[in-house]
Amino acid sequence: MRRKTKRLVMISGALGVMGVAAGLTLFALRDSVVFFYGPTEFAEKAPALGTRLRIGGLVEKGSLTREGDATVRFAVTDNARDVRVSYTGILPDLFREGQGVVAEGTVTGPGQFTADSVLAKHDETYMPREVADALKKSGQWQPDGNTASAAPALLPASASAAIR
């Protein structure tokens, strides 16, 4: 074989091996990919039963019910549509009605979702990016205002006066 032919065979072989490795990697990761849906997207796309995904929005006021020791049912809303969520486990300390939440689990029916993990916002100004994007998309986004102007109100009067 000529030198040029050897190089071509080596490069072709290397590309083939890399292609097979990429294909196997993507095949192995296909089950770990979790898509995010807002309640309106969830209703419009109607994912198949058993599909693993994330639901995000606000916990609907008045929807939180507790059953037994650890089972909780609540609705996640974007103020246009809502999804009924069932969760068995310990909720985060900051979980409450009217606050942002992301629940990860599986679809159990039309408008029904069983979560195996629930994430709540961690301070007064934070909202998960997916939740904020879903609320903006549905036209329900209402930002709390400028956090910089709220900061001096948290300081003692003497410190607030010193800043001005």
Residue 153 within a domain: no
Residues of the domain holding 19: 1-30
Please answer whether residues 44 and 63 qualify as being in contact, where contact means their C-beta atoms are separated by less than 8 angstroms: no
Residue 99 within a domain: yes
47 and 111: one domain? Answer: yes
Q: 36 falls in which pLDDT band (50, 70, 90)?
A: confident
74 and 123: one domain? Answer: yes
Query: Can you give the pLDDT at residue 20?
Result: 95
Residue 61 within a domain: yes
Residue 97 within a domain: yes
Summarize the confidence of residues 95-105 as an average pLDDT: 86
47-99 pLDDT per residue, tens: 888 888 888 888 888 888 888 888 899 998 888 888 899 999 888 888 888 88
Residue 101 within a domain: yes
Residue 159 within a domain: no
21 and 95: one domain? Answer: no
Find the range with the poorest average confidence among 3-7, 106-110, 155-159: 155-159
User: Cα–Cα distance between 162 and 3 in angstroms, integer?
Assistant: 78
**Total domain count, the chain:** 2
Please answer whether residues 125 and 144 qualify as being in contact, where contact means their C-beta atoms are separated by less than 8 angstroms: yes
Residue 123 within a domain: yes
Tell me the two tokens of residue 43.
Answer: 């209703």
21 and 49: one domain? Answer: no
User: Cα–Cα distance between 53 and 33 in angstroms, integer?
Assistant: 8
User: Cα–Cα distance between 108 and 88 in angstroms, integer?
Assistant: 14
21 and 42: one domain? Answer: no
User: Cα–Cα distance between 58 and 102 in angstroms, integer?
Assistant: 9
User: Cα–Cα distance between 63 and 13 in angstroms, integer?
Assistant: 59
DSSP sequence for 12-34: HHHHHHHHHHHHHHHHHHTTT--
Residue 68 within a domain: yes
CATH number of the domain enclosing 95: 2.40.50.140
